[in-house]
Chains A and B, each alone.
Chain A
């Protein structure tokens, strides 16, 4: 008896049991089910939700691997200073760096999946429906958008809050209004602000070493800019991601590759990504224009961020990550094609606005996306109303014919015969 047959027998025997969804979740993970079509189309396309989610995870894997090395690289560089003649193999892809990733980043991933999926399983058993795949992506996103030293208990509480309040109370995958990963992020930010912002949390051990003679800086590029301070990172550092920041947000390059992969595979909306980049640039250059016009002087606390060249906003902070992996969440984003243009643009636009005007915490992407999550149904409503209006207009010229049996039909017959 093969594994396939054994599992099938077990499945048939235990159908309907309370814990069945949990078994089914693992079973369908191993084997695509033997379910056949009944009504409607007799053949179906090759894609299912698991494949879709898996594609997003594939796009995230390079980002995760990079972030594991970067966790160590930032830690050691903060202690020893950045290497003068940087070489990728000698200074970045080293076992020492990766080990920091294994002890700091990997636990975040494990905790994220274990806690999140446990909640998911519990709700599926309570509600008696199949395990849904939504958390597969959320579980990967969460560790990538938190600071590297986030305590695991904190993450656990945030995930419980985010998954239950952000998703399950609305009915699970496909029904939520807010992006669950960002709900988790927002919970962390507002519940534990000292752990989520400032100049210590972005590099491993910076918090522990604070106040000691070995104190190291954990400041992000945005932090320097917000305080109008000088920093030593080059544009290529920022583009390739050799900078401090949330675990997975730093490498604009790998995020770009992931985004291109998602666009190519037709999984994520290119409309949202393109318009969000456009929104970012527009807002960025508006601020540049304000600086150029002399309305803002160098003494202004907004000067550092406002004078940052518009396009550079895309390679610092979490905006690239947010645009590619968060804004494109189909459930919480706009659902109409025209709506996606508006939705994406406003995400980029508002992100930069929050970033510049909130120097205490210069990362506005997650707030902008959550805000637009709330407005996405409104945007869609007006787009759909456009279609409805067109139909209403057409209705004015409708040829509504009299019924054949109410007398008027006689006249009609003369006309038509």
Chain B
């Protein structure tokens, strides 16, 4: 049985450079890297020393708070560099890949008959636990807490995001295995949303299906949670990205950690935007330069343009990303940019901005902030693009003045920074909403969680 969720409040940001539906194999990367910033809140304890050898799927480090939670290498090779930052904090682990790839082999698990305990142990030791995230706090799931439900969004509505229907095609078996397995870890339901009936997720068994439609953020898992079964204080839900279900499923079925992933390379600055198969942690140059970029002054983003993180041509594909966006930098002045009529940028207002006239036009947006940072002035703008039953500005302000009671009461447990990406986009005062929410979540976790 599937239920319909129609999202009305939101905004589609149509950008040029959508990835064409063809898949190429990316050049093999020489080095691979795990960026520790991808695992928010995890303190790593290294298991491999610099210069040590690992197989694909072999643990590099474990979580200081839970020794059984391992984080593994995407490829076999030599750990050539541990990049450290302030106070010797580990930032990045670089692995020089072997010519001949070897994988660590676990015993396959029969997902039908395995117990919850066995599945949990398998996920923890194989490194696949890292793909399970939890709310509240939007961090890797605490393995000692049982979630009330698990949510998977099979519809990517973010600008230029990889088309999940396309990249997950043919992976139904793995996804089903992963769903069957993780469903045993919760007494509640597994909720899966799809954007169309063609979705490979539409045929899944043992899940509660939801058809979502409407503008972005209809495809965000936070929107799904809020519409289906919002989180209360004390409750925990888990979320898993569908492309990571493929890795989980393959591990359970074959015993191997296969870090392969189909990613979309998109954006106005890419000459040939299309899909590539590559591995987690691969050098972005291996596919960005295969497609070519239009000019030098570009920004390469791990993820979509709203929630991704900035990287460089020497950077690496993020652990959770299936999209790499390349857009022009906007580091130039614009004469009387604040009062002339604007046709080439997206706006949620009509203050001499004309994007409302062309709802289907595709825009070539750059990274200019289009104005300076200010205190909150205008009200009512966020509510138009924020479908959750939460007062966005009040919650942001509660996070800014660090009132824990108010943060709790206004629903901070229910949200992740990505839910505030659209409000940040339309924000006239150019406030960093996602950062404010992230800091609020960290504070709440530290004080209460």
Q: Is B429 at the interface (CB under 8 A from chain A)?
A: yes
Known: A51-B338, A265-B351. A39 touches B379 (CB 8 A): no
Q: Is A55 at the interface (CB under 8 A from chain B)?
A: yes
Among A40, A264, A269, contact of B380 (Cβ-Cβ < 8 Å)? A269
Contact A172 B349 (CB under 8 A): no
Q: Which residues from chain B contact A409 at a C-beta distance below 8 Å?
A: 146
Return the chain A residue nearest B335 by Cβ. A31
Q: Which residues from chain B contact A416 at a C-beta distance below 8 Å?
A: 116, 184-187
Docked CA distance A283–B391 (Å): 32
Q: Which residues from chain A contact B433 at a C-beta distance below 8 Å?
A: 40
Known: A337-B383, A415-B187. A42 touches B299 (CB 8 A): yes
Interface size on A, residues (CB 8 A): 75
Return the chain B residue nearest A11 by Cβ. B333
Residues 407-449 (chain B) with a chain A CB within 8 angstroms: 409-411, 417, 421, 424-430, 432-435
Among A28, A401, A413, contact of B372 (Cβ-Cβ < 8 Å)? A28
Known: A38-B310, A413-B117. A47 touches B146 (CB 8 A): no
Task: List the one stretch of B85-93, B168-176, B226-234 in contact with chain A.
Answer: B226-234
Docked CA distance A50–B115 (Å): 61
Contact A266 B350 (CB under 8 A): yes
Q: Is B136 at the interface (CB under 8 A from chain A)?
A: no
Q: Is A9 at the interface (CB under 8 A from chain B)?
A: no
Q: Is A37 at the interface (CB under 8 A from chain B)?
A: yes
Contact A404 B145 (CB under 8 A): yes
Chain B nearest CB: distance from A168 CB in Å? 13
Contact A404 B144 (CB under 8 A): yes
Q: Is A84 at the interface (CB under 8 A from chain B)?
A: no
Among B230, B308, B374, B432, contact of A173 (Cβ-Cβ < 8 Å)? B374
Among A45, A265, A395, contact of B426 (Cβ-Cβ < 8 Å)? A45
Docked CA distance A28–B115 (Å): 63
Chain B nearest CB: distance from A30 CB in Å? 7
Task: List the one stretch of B47-55, B57-65, B241-249, B361-369 in contact with chain A.
Answer: B361-369
Contact B372 A52 (CB under 8 A): no
Contact A335 B379 (CB under 8 A): yes
Residues 293-338 (chain B) with a chain A CB within 8 angstroms: 299, 301, 305-310, 325, 327, 329-338
Q: Which residues from chain B contact A7 at a C-beta distance below 8 Å?
A: 333
Q: Is A405 at the interface (CB under 8 A from chain B)?
A: yes
Return the chain B residue nearest A386 by Cβ. B391
Contact B391 A387 (CB under 8 A): yes
Jot down 30 A-B pairs with beta carbons below 8 A, ordered by A: A30-B335, A31-B333, A34-B332, A35-B368, A35-B369, A41-B424, A42-B305, A42-B327, A46-B342, A47-B347, A48-B370, A48-B371, A50-B339, A51-B339, A51-B353, A52-B349, A54-B339, A173-B375, A174-B374, A265-B352, A266-B351, A330-B379, A335-B379, A335-B380, A380-B394, A387-B391, A394-B232, A401-B235, A403-B144, A403-B145
Residues of chain B at the chain A interface (Cβ within 8 Å): 13, 15, 115-117, 143-148, 159, 184-188, 230, 232-236, 299, 301, 305-310, 325, 327, 329-339, 342, 345-353, 355, 365-381, 383, 389-391, 393-394, 409-411, 417, 421, 424-430, 432-435
Given contacts A31-B337, A48-B371, 9 further A-B contacts (CB under 8 A): A35-B368, A42-B325, A43-B367, A46-B346, A47-B428, A51-B352, A330-B380, A335-B393, A400-B234
